[in-house]
Amino acid sequence: MFITKTALARRTFLRGIGTTLALPLLDAMVPALTAMRQTAAQPIPRLGFFYVPNGIYPSTWRPVGKGTSFTLAPTMAPLEPFRDQLVPIAGLSNWEAEPRGEGGGVHSRIGPSWLSGSRPKRTEGSDYQCGVTVDQVAARELGKSTPLSSIELTVDPGFLVGNCENGYSCVYTSSLCWRDATTPLPMEADPRAVFERLFGEADTPERRARDLRDDRSILDAVAQDVARLNAKLGSVDRRALGEYLEAVRGVERRIGLTEQHNSRSPVQADKPLSIPESYEEHVRLMFDLLRLAYQADVTRVHTFQYGRELSLRSYPWIGVSDAHHGVSHHGGNPQSVAGYTRINLYHVALFAEFLDKMRATPDGDGSLLDHSIFVYGAGMSDGDLHSPLDLPTVLVGGGRGRLKGGRFLEFPLDPKSRMSNLLVSLLEKVGVPEERLGDSTGELPELLAGV
């Protein structure tokens, strides 16, 4: 049995055939956590990164004002409800992504250098090289006690190969995350694959098809353990466990319905059945999987990519029928600018939905958002200029009380203002001190001050 004499262990799993279901933090776990010097009042840290391709139009993004007296610009407006845990940042740059005489190739440079502060090697072959990214530095430490050290998510399926831009390997636009200088990590777009990494694994495609046909849930495999556990829990914990299991079942059902729909419809041969036709549903599904992963402490580090650089996705459901990359090259054309900013706003609005769910999910003495730090941004500013300077960046979350929100930080546009210095500062915030990352020269005192 999985219950100790005095309390439920934090790292508790309900196990069944093909299922390993981690539990959320419950009151019954607190005595055990106290012995481990991890209490509800000393929550675990989470660190996540959300990346949008093709830049963000600056004049509709940058806040107006200074310090704590600022007004959000239209594109960032959906984040107003989180103002007390919001830190917009202006002036930080990725100097390693500058052209330096190479001309084109900026899209290939900015993705991998965004979280590494390192310049990718220009090559079309398998000798690609960049630098370890901040998520993997954090994962080495924060992932020591979780089933997954980190998860890398995207909504663009497939790992591209060959030459994508100006002599750069497609690997540079396929992944944001590098375990070391020569090892990019694949980013997963298949909701079913993510679900099985978090909660279980179907033995065979035939079994998955049978379970889908019979409408069987992974929760069926742990039903007896759930019943035994509920008999030992108080009413508050029973309710929390029930809500968590219902959320797991809800995500599982949505994946199953998508697979049923796609199995009856013509789909691309290389596209997994569990990827929804709707981009919006795909993003929301991945965000819900991510929230469950944090709630059950399956991982404490993630990276999410709204799309690859050079993305040609159009967004007709929000009134943008032209390709994203095309409208980012707006040339000042009012119609293209309008489409570009509409896409930017749409991405932020989806992010705000995720934040709202994180804030509504209890975690010890606070919420998942209270105990997280999320970075939202892009590897270039205005897509028409292709500039990796003055990057659009905003932090959201309480950081376990270590991130002071409600303030706008501005830095001068010079080589001292480096995105990599922010990354080093974030590692300090989550308890993983690192002296240097890529081209960093130190921490940002302005970010570390006030807490």
DSSP 304: E
pLDDT at 11 > cutoff 80: no
Contact between residue 82 and residue 350 where contact means Cβ atoms under 8 Å apart = no
> What is the C-alpha separation between 33 and 318, in angstroms, rounded?
47
Query: What end-to-end distance do the CA atoms of the chain give, in Å?
Result: 43
Facing residues of 47 across strands? 301, 373
Binning pLDDT at 50, 70 and 90, where does residue 206 land? Answer: low
Q: Minimum mean pLDDT among 11-25, 55-69, 341-355: which range?
A: 11-25
The sign one gets for the Cα dihedral 281, 286, 290, 293 is: positive
> Which pLDDT score is estimated for 89?
98
DSSP 146: S
What SS3 state is found at 439? coil
The pLDDT tens digits of the residues spanning 280-302 come to 999 999 999 999 999 999 999 99
Q: What are phi and psi of 37, to 5 degrees?
A: 60, 30
The pLDDT tens digits of the residues spanning 364-391 come to 999 999 999 999 999 999 999 999 999 9
Task: Report CA-CA distances (Å) from 128 to 36, 135, 171, 188, 212.
Answer: 42, 19, 8, 20, 41
> Which pLDDT score is estimated for 28?
87
Instruction: Please state the length of the chain.
Output: 451
| Element containing residue 110 per DSSP (H, E) | helix 106-114
> What is the C-alpha separation between 433 and 388, in angstroms, rounded?
26
Contact between residue 430 and residue 302 where contact means Cβ atoms under 8 Å apart = no
Residue 4, phi-psi category: left (phi > 0), alpha (psi -120 to 50), beta (remainder)? beta
Q: What are the start-end ranges of the H helices in 115-230?
A: 134-142, 171-174, 191-199, 205-213, 223-230
What SS3 state is found at 336? helix
> Which pLDDT score is estimated for 450?
57
Q: How far is CA 209 from the centre of its chain?
A: 30
Q: Give the chain's domains with CATH numbers.
A: 43-189+275-448 (3.40.720.10)
The pLDDT tens digits of the residues spanning 138-179 come to 999 999 999 999 999 999 987 676 668 889 999 999 999 999
